[in-house]
A and B are shown apart, each in its own frame.
Chain A
Amino acid sequence: MDLKELYQEIVLDHGKNPRNKRKCKDFNKDAEGHNPLCGDKVHVFLKLNKEKKVEDISFEGEGCAISIASASIMTETIKGKEFNVAKKILEDFLNMLKEGSKLRINSLNEDQNTTMMSLSGVKQFPMRVKCATLAWHTFLHAAENKKEKVNTEKGNL
């Protein structure tokens, strides 16, 4: 385990100065997520247009540096993407955290790739993986209009 891998500069920066941390204007979908074990909470706001493109995405919430940074990085990465592409990015991200695989997706630019990869250190800290995935699962819930709140302890991910 290596703390430097977990708390990389990019992660710390997003944790301290999260991007898109607000309620975005005229969102048409939203969902809430909660990690009852540590009290992390996130509310994702999403504007999906008719062509199923993510026109805008933002979040509100509180939590540890990892969960806030991950939410922030997610909004930056997914904004402007087709929903299907966003979903692929999400799957890729989850695989990176669960299996340690490299990002396979080729629709990200180099910057975005580096930023996403900055969260790869979380894999070595199994107790923290849920912090990093909460916002992403919540995004999916919002996009797919699932009624239930995301709850990391209920196995409804």
Chain B
Amino acid sequence: MLGANSKDKFMDIKSVKSQFPIFKNKINGKPLIYLDSANSSQKPGRVIDRISKFYSKEFSNIGRSVHTLAVTATNRFEETRDLVKKYVNAKSREEIIFTKNATEGMNLVASTYGEKFINKGDEILITELEHHANYVPWHFLRQRKGAVIKFAKCNDKGEVEIDEIKKLISNKTKIIGITHLSNVTGAILPIKKIVDLAKTKKIPVLVDGCQGAPHLKLDMQELGCDFYAMSCHKMYGPTGVGILYAKKEWVDKLPPYQGGGGMIEEVKKDNITFPGSPTKYEAGTLQTAEVVGFSESIRFIQDVGIKNIMQHEKEITEYGVQELKKNNSVKIIGDPKNRGSIISFTIKGIHPHDIATILDEDGVAIRAGHHCCQILHEKMGIAASARASLGVYNSKEDIDVLSNAIKKCNKIFNK
């Protein structure tokens, strides 16, 4: 797969891109320049084919029947759990819980941990960079229990410094919720340092890994965090699947989340008992085909190599920042030392929605809006921004098309 004759030092981008059927389509008569992977990534053919094959040859509900198909389906499903466990370097399969997305993973933590350990006056420490998915669930808890939410400040570069976290930790802090990689400024936060600090105070850390998981090497032992939430649809995987990594000590201690079939042990009229994790967190019929399909996403990432992906995306991102800076009307949001493959920007005198519409004409898909980070946008004094976010299939040529399309915005609006 890693062709030797490629212009790209790290991988053969053409061969990687050709594995994604979506790029065969034209958008408004132009080739698709997909710069919205932070929102959701495109899917390689092998993932799509895997789902189709599963439904054609192997499908049955899992974990309930003894017939052959049920056994096969259950095995495929659980094999994916093993694959994920290895991929993120978890200690045991009990630590890998399938959810519908990262949002559900974070709600699971806020509900179960919050129910048991957070009381009136207790503090939840999050940051100004958080996506609404790592704020709203805590807000519910604030309302339900009278807890207090504190926001660690983000600096001008769009980073959260460890000192800002240190400052806010008190003996009432019950949990820290923090993003691995900001979906607006692109900043990669020093999670390991934050976890080390939190450990000295015995405070658990929940990492919103939505943007970290698709673009960084994942090693739960090295990060040391207590919870890590991911959305598989951003990892070249199907929609409807998320993964919550939760340390064994927590899954043993925390109560179940949703109730229903599949998550029980013994049901009597006067009492119900529950099995261990992950079963007690996976109520009802699960997104079986999508989970099985996700196994091919991991294999895809492994075949290309996460290190190659990281190198490649870093190169394209740096090129993107450099090219956009050449346009005086463009203002890039944040300037983090350690930037993931996200570039958010504004253009003087042009609203992000107009930018997105004009870019779309040239087949360039970006996102405009507050990207579910209203707190951060308010702090920056803007209602919305435009965001270009990269994936494994993007190239320098894509950046060139983007820069030219931005010049077209200038032309339309500044004549």
Chain A interface residues (CB < 8 Å from chain B): 1, 3, 6-7, 12, 16, 37-41, 62-66, 125, 127-128, 131
Q: B286 contacts the other chain (Cβ, under 8 Å)?
A: no
Known: A64-B351, A65-B351, A128-B357. A39 touches B412 (CB 8 A): no
Is the beta-carbon distance between B383 and A3 smaller than 8 angstroms? no
Offer 6 A-B interface pairs, CB within 8 angstroms, sorted by A: A3-B358, A7-B358, A37-B369, A38-B384, A63-B383, A66-B353
Is the beta-carbon distance between B358 and A39 smaller than 8 angstroms? no
Q: B117 contacts the other chain (Cβ, under 8 Å)?
A: no
Is the beta-carbon distance between A38 and B369 smaller than 8 angstroms? yes
**A1, A65, A131 pick with most chain B CB within 10 angstroms:** A65
Number of A-B contacts (CB under 8 A): 48
B21-41 vs A: 1/0 string, CB under 8 Å? 000000010000000000000
In the complex, what residues of B have CB within 8 A of residue A39's CB?
Answer: 369-370, 377, 383-384
In the complex, what residues of A have CB within 8 A of residue B377's CB?
Answer: 39
* Given A38-B353, A38-B384, A128-B353, 15 extra CB contacts under 8 A: A1-B361, A7-B412, A7-B413, A12-B413, A16-B413, A37-B369, A39-B377, A39-B383, A40-B353, A62-B383, A63-B351, A64-B352, A65-B351, A127-B357, A131-B353
Is the beta-carbon distance between A3 and B361 smaller than 8 angstroms? yes
In the complex, what residues of A have CB within 8 A of residue B384's CB?
Answer: 38-39
In the complex, what residues of B have CB within 8 A of residue A64's CB?
Answer: 351-354
Q: B368 contacts the other chain (Cβ, under 8 Å)?
A: yes
Name which residue of chain B comes closest to A125, CB basis: B357
Name which residue of chain A comes closest to B415, CB basis: A12
B384-414 vs A: 1/0 string, CB under 8 Å? 1000000000000000000000000000110
Name which residue of chain A comes closest to B377, CB basis: A39
- Within 8 Å by CB of B368, from A6, A38, A41, A66, lies A38
In the complex, what residues of A have CB within 8 A of residue B413's CB?
Answer: 7, 12, 16, 65
Q: Give the interface size class of chain B.
A: 10 to 19
**A125 vs B412: C-alpha distance when bound (angstroms):** 17
**B357, B361, B368 pick with most chain A CB within 10 angstroms:** B357
**A131 vs B356: C-alpha distance when bound (angstroms):** 14
**A128 vs B354: C-alpha distance when bound (angstroms):** 9
Is the beta-carbon distance between A12 and B28 smaller than 8 angstroms? no
**A127 vs B359: C-alpha distance when bound (angstroms):** 14
Return B259 CB to nearest CB of chain A, in Å. 31
Closest 3 CB pairs of A and B: A39-B383, A64-B351, A64-B353
Name which residue of chain A comes closest to B412, CB basis: A7
**B349, B358, B384 pick with most chain A CB within 10 angstroms:** B384
**A37 vs B357: C-alpha distance when bound (angstroms):** 15
Is the beta-carbon distance between B28 and A66 smaller than 8 angstroms? no
Is the beta-carbon distance between B28 and A1 smaller than 8 angstroms? yes
In the complex, what residues of B have CB within 8 A of residue A125's CB?
Answer: 357
In the complex, what residues of A have CB within 8 A of residue B383's CB?
Answer: 39-41, 62-63
B342-371 vs A: 1/0 string, CB under 8 Å? 000000011111100110010000001110
**A63 vs B361: C-alpha distance when bound (angstroms):** 21
In the complex, what residues of B have CB within 8 A of residue A12's CB?
Answer: 412-413
**A1 vs B370: C-alpha distance when bound (angstroms):** 26
Return A153 CB to nearest CB of chain B, in Å. 12
**A82 vs B376: C-alpha distance when bound (angstroms):** 44
Is the beta-carbon distance between A65 and B354 smaller than 8 angstroms? yes
Q: Give the residues from 172 to 219 in chain B that come closer than 8 angstroms, CB to CB, to chain A.
A: none
**A12 vs B384: C-alpha distance when bound (angstroms):** 20
In the complex, what residues of B have CB within 8 A of residue A66's CB?
Answer: 353-354
**A3 vs B413: C-alpha distance when bound (angstroms):** 12
Return A154 CB to nearest CB of chain B, in Å. 17
In the complex, what residues of B have CB within 8 A of residue A37's CB?
Answer: 369
Name which residue of chain B comes closest to A4, CB basis: B412
Return A119 CB to nearest CB of chain B, in Å. 14
B54-76 vs A: 1/0 string, CB under 8 Å? 00000000000000000000000
In the complex, what residues of B have CB within 8 A of residue A1's CB?
Answer: 28, 361
**A1, A7, A38, A131 pick with most chain B CB within 10 angstroms:** A38
In the complex, what residues of A have CB within 8 A of residue B354's CB?
Answer: 7, 64-66
In the complex, what residues of A have CB within 8 A of residue B352's CB?
Answer: 38, 64
**A108 vs B349: C-alpha distance when bound (angstroms):** 31
Is the beta-carbon distance between B369 and A6 smaller than 8 angstroms? no
Return B358 CB to nearest CB of chain A, in Å. 6
**A64 vs B383: C-alpha distance when bound (angstroms):** 10
Name which residue of chain B comes closest to A127, CB basis: B357
Return A80 CB to nearest CB of chain B, in Å. 30
Return A71 CB to nearest CB of chain B, in Å. 13
Return A113 CB to nearest CB of chain B, in Å. 24
In the complex, what residues of B have CB within 8 A of residue A16's CB?
Answer: 349, 413
**A38 vs B371: C-alpha distance when bound (angstroms):** 9
In the complex, what residues of B have CB within 8 A of residue A6's CB?
Answer: 357
**A16 vs B350: C-alpha distance when bound (angstroms):** 10
In the complex, what residues of A have CB within 8 A of residue B412's CB?
Answer: 3, 7, 12
